[in-house]
């Protein structure tokens, strides 16, 4: 199981990397807009920080524009993956870029049908968004499970799942139990996963008890 950092912030990526939690990085226009600097420069810096895949999203919505942008972004570094929104034109672009050996990730996937189309178009990765489905009272984990079953039962669909829009530690545990290929996790959630009140209480107690023999 790979864990990616869902961030465009170099400091967050570096901190995750120190713990072996940066097998890759996913970005999107919203995450990049939070950082200072230009789009390409930010991506270039991330690519030099991690050796795994760095997912960079196109802004165009028509196939010609997506292909053109995808080719340009792919020149930034060898580990760039082109993230493309789930659109009719997006799928056309995936086929073209895939034929050129450029890796793609179809993002904003909210149904198993969309995941099948993305895999058939030749997407290297498909990115279902759990949290945003949960937000509208649908079961995000159920979608992940359904896509996973389809890909396991159809090994000709050579597409990896990146579970995205992960909001809670429980999501992470459920997805790991399910055996999802890749989880992309915001850095705040990595910190939440570290913490447990009983760990804090236990440390506090050990430190208190250690005072007794420190001065002996
Ligand atoms: O990778 C996609 C992710 O950034 C979306 O997360 O929390 O905005 O739904 P969220």
Q: Considering all CA atoms of the chain, what is the largest pairwise distance in Å, rounded to the nearest integer?
A: 76
Residue to probe by mutation, ligand 1, list 33, 53, 57, 129, most atoms within 8 Å of CB:
129
**127 Cα distance to chain centroid:** 7
List of the chain residues with pLDDT < 70: 216
Annotation marks residue 188 as catalytic: no
CA of 4 to the centre of ligand 1 (A): 12
Give the pLDDT confidence score for residue 212 in this predicted structure: 87
- For residues 58 and 66, the answer to whether their CB atoms sit within 8 Å is yes
* 60-101: pLDDT as tens digits: 999 999 999 999 999 999 999 999 999 999 999 999 999 999
Give the pLDDT confidence score for residue 216 in this predicted structure: 66
pTM over 0.85: yes
What is the rounded distance in angstroms from the CA atom of residue 127 to the CA atom of residue 30? Answer: 16
Give the pLDDT confidence score for residue 214 in this predicted structure: 80
Give the pLDDT confidence score for residue 213 in this predicted structure: 85
**202 Cα distance to chain centroid:** 33
**Which residue among the candidates 34, 83, 195, 214 is catalytic per the annotation?**
83
Neighbours of 144 (CB within 10 A): 25
Give the pLDDT confidence score for residue 50 in this predicted structure: 97
């Amino acid at each position: 199981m790979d864990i990616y950092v869902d961030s465009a912030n170099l400091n967050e990526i570096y901190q995750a990397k120190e713990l072996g939690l940066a097998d890759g990085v996913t970005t999107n226009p919203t995450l990049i807009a939070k950082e200072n600097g230009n789009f390409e420069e930010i991506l270039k810096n991330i690519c030099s920080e991690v050796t795994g895949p760095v997912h960079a999203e196109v802004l165009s919505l028509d196939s010609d524009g997506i292909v053109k942008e995808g080719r340009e972004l792919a020149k930034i570094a060898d580990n760039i993956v082109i993230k493309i929104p789930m659109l009719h034109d997006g799928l056309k672009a995936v086929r073209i870029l895939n034929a050129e050996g450029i890796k793609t990730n179809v993002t904003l996937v909210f149904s198993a049908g969309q995941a099948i189309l993305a895999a058939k178009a030749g997407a290297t990765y498909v990115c279902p968004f759990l949290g945003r489905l949960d937000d509208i009272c649908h079961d995000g984990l159920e979608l992940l499970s359904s896509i996973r079953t389809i890909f396991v039962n159809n090994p000709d669909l050579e597409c990896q799942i990146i579970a995205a829009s992960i909001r809670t530690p429980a999501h992470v545990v459920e997805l790991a139990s399910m055996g999802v290929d890749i989880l992309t996790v915001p850095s705040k959630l990595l910190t939440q996963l570290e913490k447990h009140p009983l760990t804090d209480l236990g440390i506090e107690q050990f430190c208190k008890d250690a005072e007794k023999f420190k001065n002996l």
